[in-house]
């Protein structure tokens, strides 16, 4: 079978993919590594003939830069808060959906809707829901409190500034958590429901014969048999969480923070892109590599924890 004509043909068919991959995937891996270890690398300067010393200055600068630690903090908080909430909610919804017959397809479609949205566009909708229009911070009066504050006030609470001037970091993070969870649910529900539907019905029949209570069925049959899918959504959730960026742009705009404190909610990815646009590619590369290592470590850690609990 393997004759030279076949070889030649295979490489011909593969050539467009290989050329593009070499330029836009393989070369970047080496070049990004190279730039990260060239002190203060910038493309404009490099084009102008400047040379750079080999060293780890970029990494030191990234770590010493206090805003980078803020980015890391925001990213980590968002990750740690949203993944457990969205996974638990998705699991509950998937189990509930799996247990009903009428309306199942309709509800499934509704729960998938946030997936087919543009995260910037719907971020703007969430922003208006939390937004206070015409707010006077001294007299605490506003034309429009925003629907979320209206609901809080309806239940006797007090409206607060979520994303506007004078809002606190905690309030900003709360808004982001709500939005990210809302956005993350569809994918997780889809995967978990798919997993549930592939569980052999015999396990449940056996449990029914034994008269096992529902809660026990959930913890002893459903969750163990679903554990590979749970592991998958948790790991992808963490990876996605560490790359959070555009959902924040959706709500806060490119300022990445409330009007009086721009950049307050910047994330790791945001930091990398800022450095990139300012022609500080060495710094950007170092930041991206640090992000990569963090994701790798978190994933390996997750794998290790999960391996103890996953039943394949």
Partner 1 sequence: MSNTKTMNVMQERDVRTRTIGQKIFKVLGKTGTYIFLLVMALIILFPFYWMIISSLKTLAEYRQAVPTFWPRQIMWGNYAEAFTKANLGDLFMNTLYVGLVSTVLSLVITVLSAFAFARLEFKGKETLFGALLATMMIPGELFTITNYITVNNLGWMHTFTALIVPFLVSVFYIYLLRQNFMQIPNELYLAAKVDGTSDIKYLWKVMIPLALPTLISITILKMMGAWNSYIWPKLVANDAAHQMITNGLRNAFTDTTGQANYPVQMAAVAIVSAPLFLVFLCLRKYIMQGVSRSGIKG
Residue at token pair 């103890």: 308
Smallest distance from partner 1 to CB 171, Å: 15
Sign of the dihedral through C-alpha 71, 74, 77, 80: negative
Q: DSSP letter string over 282-299? A: HHHHHHHHHHHHHHHHHH
Nearer to partner 1, 57 or 97 (CB): 97
Smallest distance from partner 1 to CB 287, Å: 9
Smallest distance from partner 1 to CB 284, Å: 5
Smallest distance from partner 1 to CB 220, Å: 18
Q: 54: helix, coil or strand?
A: strand
Smallest distance from partner 1 to CB 109, Å: 7
Own/partner long-range contacts of 35-39 (Cβ < 8 Å, ≥24 apart): 35/281, 35/282, 35/284, 35/285, 36/282, 36/285, 36/286, 36/288, 36/289, 38/282, 39/282
Residue at token pair 């890391």: 72
Site residues for partner 1, 84-123, by CB under 8 A, read 89, 92-93, 96-97, 99-100, 103, 107, 109-122
Query: Considering the rule CB under 8 A, would residue 26 count as an interface residue with partner 1?
Result: yes
Site residues for partner 1, 260-279, by CB under 8 A, read 269, 272-273, 276-277
Query: Considering the rule CB under 8 A, would residue 253 count as an interface residue with partner 1?
Result: yes
Smallest distance from partner 1 to CB 107, Å: 6
Smallest distance from partner 1 to CB 53, Å: 19
How big is the site for partner 1, counted in residues (CB under 8 A)?
98
Query: Considering the rule CB under 8 A, would residue 204 count as an interface residue with partner 1?
Result: no
Beta bridge partners of 136: 141
Question: Candidates 124-132, 169-177, 202-210, 218-226 — which segment interacts with partner 1 by CB under 8 A?
Answer: 124-132
Q: Determine the Cα–Cα distance for residues 200 and 57; give it in Å rounded to an integer.
A: 56
Beta bridge partners of 141: 136
Own/partner long-range contacts of 11-20 (Cβ < 8 Å, ≥24 apart): none
Q: Determine the Cα–Cα distance for residues 170 and 184; give it in Å rounded to an integer.
A: 21
What is the distance of C-alpha 311 from the center of its chain?
26
Site residues for partner 1, 134-193, by CB under 8 A, read 134, 142-145, 147, 150, 163-165, 182, 185, 187, 190-191
Choose, by CB under 8 A, the member of 38, 62, 91, 129 that binds partner 1: 129
Q: Determine the Cα–Cα distance for residues 116 and 190; give it in Å rounded to an integer.
A: 13
Query: Considering the rule CB under 8 A, would residue 293 count as an interface residue with partner 1?
Result: no
Smallest distance from partner 1 to CB 54, Å: 18
Mark 57-86 with x for binding to partner 1 (rule: CB under 8 A) and - for no binding: ------------------------------
Number of residues that this document lists for the chain: 312
Query: Considering the rule CB under 8 A, would residue 236 count as an interface residue with partner 1?
Result: yes
Choose, by CB under 8 A, the member of 174, 295, 298, 306 that binds partner 1: 295
How distant, in Å, are the alpha carbons of 192, 201, 202, 222, 243 from that of 198?
10, 9, 12, 11, 31
Question: Candidates 67-75, 77-85, 217-225, 253-261 — which segment interacts with partner 1 by CB under 8 A?
Answer: 253-261
């Amino acid at each position: 079978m393997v004759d030279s004509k076949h070889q030649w043909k295979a490489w011909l068919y593969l050539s467009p993919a290989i050329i593009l991959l070499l330029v836009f995937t393989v070369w970047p891996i080496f070049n990004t590594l190279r730039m990260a270890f060239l002190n203060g690398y910038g493309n404009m300067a490099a084009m102008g003939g400047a040379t750079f010393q080999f060293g780890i200055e970029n990494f030191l600068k990234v770590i010493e830069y206090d805003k980078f630690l803020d980015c890391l903090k925001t990213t980590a908080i968002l990750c740690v808060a949203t993944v457990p909430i969205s996974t638990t909610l998705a699991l509950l919804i998937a189990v509930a959906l799996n247990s009903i017959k009428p309306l199942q397809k309709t509800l499934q479609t509704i729960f998938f809707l946030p997936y087919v949205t543009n995260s910037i566009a719907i971020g703007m909708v969430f922003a208006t829901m939390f937004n206070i229009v015409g707010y006077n911070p001294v007299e605490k009066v506003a034309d429009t409190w925003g629907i979320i504050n209206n609901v809080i006030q309806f239940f006797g609470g007090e409206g607060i500034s979520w994303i506007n001037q004078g809002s606190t970091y905690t309030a900003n993070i709360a808004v982001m958590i709500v939005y990210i969870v809302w956005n993350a649910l569809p994918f997780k529900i889809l995967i978990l429901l798919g997993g549930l539907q592939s569980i052999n019905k015999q396990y449940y029949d056996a449990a029914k014969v034994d008269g096992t209570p529902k809660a026990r069925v959930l913890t002893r049959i459903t969750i163990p048999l679903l554990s590979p899918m749970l592991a998958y959504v948790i790991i992808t959730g963490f990876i996605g969480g560490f790359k959070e960026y555009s959902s924040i742009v959706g709500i806060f705009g490119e300022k990445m923070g409330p009007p009086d404190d721009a950049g307050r909610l910047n994330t790791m990815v945001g930091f990398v892109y800022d450095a990139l646009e300012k022609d500080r590619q060495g710094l950007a590369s170092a930041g991206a590599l640090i992000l990569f290592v963090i994701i790798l470590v978190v994933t390996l850690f997750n794998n290790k924890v999960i391996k103890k609990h996953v039943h394949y």
